[in-house]
């Protein structure tokens, strides 16, 4: 006999005739514990804030400079426009993420605490929305599942890492869209509450349009949420044991938009991020092996989150090893078992694993993503998908405890113990994300054979070397540099086939002034980059090589290297600038002017480019243009003494003695020993004693 239709919010979780009794305990019945929903919400917020409070002392780590601290689009209104209209202006086209950073930058600048707090609040909001959604869907232990999600240590990478605003923001919109689609607050429901069917005129429903808007917002935060409409169909099947064509029609726009934006992300991952080449050269059998192992990896970390690493070891995939087929075979077997047992145990278990696998699908290795260079898995990949397994685990445990008829006190103690353990582990894990040195030192202890980890630990030591040098602490600075160089050399030993492992050693050599050694490493970087067909991703080496060649007295080779950099990346402002400097040294002033002009077009705030361009114009007695460049320098840096002095000479040559005298005096007020300003002032005001007030 067919199952009678019923509402999405009904108590029939599995389609079975007999209901499991609810337990008089917190995980199974939120009202018995909290009395009011407000208290449940406050508790979830308190748990998230307590778990992540150590993040208030954290700074910026990996990728954060590209997303925030060195991101020019966050500075101006034009930058905000570029965030939306110029997909290549940001590392990835997630305009809502970068718009949130734009707002934060204009509220508190680059103070990392504000960005971290917002990530935590968004995570807490997602936990609340998850609780509400599970409660509406009558999932046993809804609050406990949301609480575990709020404090589970595997989520730390998504919450404590500012760059992963993508995850916390997109999940918020994802869950909100689900709630609106299934349970409209204004009464205009998409799903008929009495039959569980989709209304015929769904487009007249405000809820449908709001859900579509929230779904698009989720996609514009991270396109892994493109699986949302498929998740809706799984939930409908779970609740009704069937899917009707009328269920598909209102979801068609969701599928079309989701697939379109997901394909755009895949295209940009290839073209803009550079996820192509030999390191991604896997056939579909090998990708299936990666996917099968990843599914079990994340499930295992959700159950036993130890150890957690920022970068996990990259597995060796070999389709000729039969044992590697066990992971995908076991995953298929689990789905098959739950399918055949659906009439006995209900459809909930199968729905949960389908939601888990479907949501995780974009990160399973079937599509190229940049992190596959060094690892096939990452904690933040499972942020959206993991909630399905958390809900399944809690619901199953809740039903089991209800059958045992344990007193409410014992059930509450079990729930409290699990949440407290997660909270403790999360607080400990958050402290790893405080700064790059702490993060990479911890990662190295868990993944000692990763070239990427050694390289980034070298970067952390190099940053410390620069700070110590600036502070005049030469002894500790030398030690820091030695450690950086050691890490770079280990990285090179682990992956000598990669261009960047040679590049970083060359850059370290250049920092010490050993340009001859640097050139050798740069040349090898070039050879490997050209051979791999990925030279465009190593354009930096051509600029660095140009600097080293110039420093060792090879100007023509330096010019050729800069020109190759510009050929690979026409908008490479730094290469245009360095080429202009070299051309100016060769007295090719007209060519230098052209390159300085282009460098300024690409980077209008490059003070030295403006200053040098002004010098070129002054050399050609193009006084008005020279004055304009010096004025721009002084607008950007009013205490640029040399710009004052040179503009003074422009005014002097133009016969504007009073203006010249004012500029010479301004220059000497900044730098009393600046000879061009002294000579200029003596020329325009003979007998005048240069001022010595160094204010």
Q: What is the pLDDT of residue 357?
A: 97
CA dihedral (107, 109, 111, 116) positive or negative: positive
Residue 18: band (very low, low, confident or very high) from pLDDT cuts 50, 70, 90: very low
Whether residue 30 is predicted with pLDDT greater than 60 in this model: the reply is no
At 469-521, the pLDDT tens digits run 999 999 999 999 999 999 999 999 999 999 999 999 999 999 989 999 999 99
Whether residue 213 is predicted with pLDDT greater than 80 in this model: the reply is yes
Whether residue 193 is predicted with pLDDT greater than 70 in this model: the reply is no
Q: What is the pLDDT of residue 247?
A: 85
Structure tokens at 417: 């113990």
Q: What is the pLDDT of residue 198?
A: 59
d(CA 245, CA 585): 73
Q: What is the pLDDT of residue 579?
A: 98
What distance, in Å, lies between the first and last C-alpha atoms of the chain?
A: 93
At 391-435, the pLDDT tens digits run 999 999 999 888 888 777 787 899 999 999 999 999 999 999 999
> Is residue 595 within 8 Å of 583, Cβ to Cβ?
yes
Q: What is the pLDDT of residue 189?
A: 56
At 235-284, the pLDDT tens digits run 999 998 888 888 898 999 999 999 999 999 999 998 888 888 888 999 99
Q: What is the pLDDT of residue 185?
A: 41
Whether residue 148 is predicted with pLDDT greater than 70 in this model: the reply is yes
Radius of gyration of the chain (CA): 31
Instruction: Collect all residues with Cβ–Cβ distance below 8 Å to 282 and sequence separation of at least 6.
Output: 290, 317, 365
Q: What is the pLDDT of residue 34?
A: 43
Structure tokens at 359: 């949501």
Q: What is the pLDDT of residue 192?
A: 53
Structure tokens at 181: 């689609």
User: Phi and psi at residue 587, in whole multiples of 5°?
Assistant: 65, 25
Mean pLDDT, residues 628-657 taken together: 96
Q: What is the pLDDT of residue 21?
A: 37
Whether residue 7 is predicted with pLDDT greater than 80 in this model: the reply is no
The count of C-alpha atoms lying within 13 angstroms of the C-alpha of 309, restricted to the half-sphere facing its C-beta, is 21
At 68-116, the pLDDT tens digits run 999 999 999 999 999 999 998 999 999 999 999 999 999 999 999 999 9
> Is residue 341 within 8 Å of 314, Cβ to Cβ?
no
Structure tokens at 374: 């060094």
Q: What is the pLDDT of residue 131?
A: 97
d(CA 600, CA 526): 27
Name the percent of the chain lying above pLDDT 90. 81
d(CA 495, CA 493): 6
pTM over 0.85: yes
Q: What angle do CA 497, 501, 504 make, to 5 degrees?
A: 155
> Is residue 159 within 8 Å of 52, Cβ to Cβ?
yes
Torsion of CA 520, 522, 525, 526, to 10 degrees: -110
Whether residue 367 is predicted with pLDDT greater than 70 in this model: the reply is yes
Q: What is the pLDDT of residue 276?
A: 85
Q: What is the pLDDT of residue 201?
A: 63
Q: What is the pLDDT of residue 24?
A: 38
Q: Lowest mean pLDDT: which of 421-425, 446-450, 601-605, 632-636?
A: 601-605
Q: What is the pLDDT of residue 366?
A: 95
d(CA 695, CA 693): 6
The count of C-alpha atoms lying within 13 angstroms of the C-alpha of 429, restricted to the half-sphere facing its C-beta, is 26
d(CA 320, CA 367): 22
């Amino acid at each position: 006999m067919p199952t009678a239709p019923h509402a999405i919010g009904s108590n029939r979780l599995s389609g079975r005739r007999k209901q499991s009794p609810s337990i008089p305990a917190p995980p199974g019945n939120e009202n018995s514990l909290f009395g009011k929903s407000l208290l449940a919400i406050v508790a979830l917020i308190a748990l998230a804030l307590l778990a992540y409070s150590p993040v208030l002392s954290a700074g910026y780590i990996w990728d954060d400079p590209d997303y925030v601290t060195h991101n020019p689009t966050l500075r101006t209104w034009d930058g905000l426009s570029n965030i939306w209209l110029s997909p290549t202006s940001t590392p990835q086209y997630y305009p809502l993420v970068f718009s949130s950073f734009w707002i934060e930058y204009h509220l508190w600048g680059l103070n990392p605490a504000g960005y971290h707090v917002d990530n935590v609040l968004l995570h807490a909001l997602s936990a609340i929305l998850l609780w509400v959604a599970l409660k509406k869907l009558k999932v046993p232990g809804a609050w406990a599942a949301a609480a575990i999600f709020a404090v589970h240590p595997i989520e730390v990478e998504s919450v404590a890492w500012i760059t992963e605003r993508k995850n916390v923001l997109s999940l918020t919109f994802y869950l909100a869209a689900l709630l609106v689609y299934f349970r409209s607050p204004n009464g205009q429901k998409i799903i008929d509450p009495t039959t569980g069917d989709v209304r015929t005129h769904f487009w007249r429903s405000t809820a449908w349009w709001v859900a579509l808007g929230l779904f698009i917002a989720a996609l514009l935060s991270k396109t892994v949420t493109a699986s949302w409409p498929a998740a809706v169909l799984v939930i409908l099947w779970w609740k009704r044991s069937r899917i009707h064509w009328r269920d598909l029609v209102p979801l068609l726009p969701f599928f079309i938009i989701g697939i379109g934006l997901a394909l755009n992300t895949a295209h940009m991952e290839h073209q803009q991020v550079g996820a192509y080449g030999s390191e991604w050269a896997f056939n579909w059998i090998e990708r299936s092996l990666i996917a099968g192992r990843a599914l079990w990896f994340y499930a295992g970390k959700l159950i036993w989150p130890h150890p957690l690493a920022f970068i996990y070891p990259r597995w060796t995939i070999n389709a000729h090893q039969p044992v590697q087929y066990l992971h995908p075979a076991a995953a298929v077997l689990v789905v098959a078992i739950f399918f055949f047992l659906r009439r006995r145990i209900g459809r909930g278990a199968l729905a949960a694993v389908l939601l888990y696998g479907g949501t995780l699908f974009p990160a399973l290795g079937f599509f190229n993503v940049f992190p596959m260079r060094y690892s096939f898995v990452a904690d933040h990949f499972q942020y959206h998908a993991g909630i399905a397994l958390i809900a399944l685990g809690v619901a199953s445990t809740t039903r089991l405890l209800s059958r045992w008829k344990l007193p409410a006190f014992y059930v509450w103690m079990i729930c409290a113990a699990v949440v407290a353990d997660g909270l403790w582990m999360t607080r400990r894990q958050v402290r790893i994300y405080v700064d790059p040195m702490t993060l990479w030192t911890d990662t190295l202890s868990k993944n000692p054979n990763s070239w990427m980890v050694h390289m980034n630990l070298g970067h952390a030591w190099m940053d410390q070397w620069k700070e110590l040098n600036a502070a005049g602490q030469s002894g500790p600075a030398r030690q820091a540099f030695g450690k950086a160089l050691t890490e770079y050399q280990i990285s090179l030993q682990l992956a000598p086939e990669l261009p960047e492992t040679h590049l970083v050693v060359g850059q370290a050599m250049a920092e010490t002034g050993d340009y001859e050694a640097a050139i050798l490493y740069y040349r090898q970087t070039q050879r490997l980059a050209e051979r791999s067909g990925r030279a465009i991703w190593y354009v930096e080496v051509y600029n660095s090589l140009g600097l080293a060649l110039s420093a060792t007295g090879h100007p023509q080779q330096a010019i050729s290297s800069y020109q190759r950099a510009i050929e690979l990346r026409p908008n490479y402002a730094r290469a245009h600038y360095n080429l202009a400097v070299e051309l100016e040294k060769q007295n090719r002033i007209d060519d230098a002017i052209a390159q300085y002009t282009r460098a300024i077009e690409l980077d209008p705030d490059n003070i030295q480019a403006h200053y040098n361009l002004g010098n070129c114009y002054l050399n050609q007695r193009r006084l008005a243009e020279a004055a304009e460049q010096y004025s721009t320098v002084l607008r950007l840096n009013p205490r640029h003494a040399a710009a004052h002095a040179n503009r003074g000479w422009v005014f002097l040559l133009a016969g504007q003695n009073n203006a010249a005298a004012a500029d010479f005096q301004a220059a000497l007020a900044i730098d009393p020993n600046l000879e061009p300003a002294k000579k200029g002032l003596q020329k325009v005001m003979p007998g005048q004693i240069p001022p010595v007030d160094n204010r």
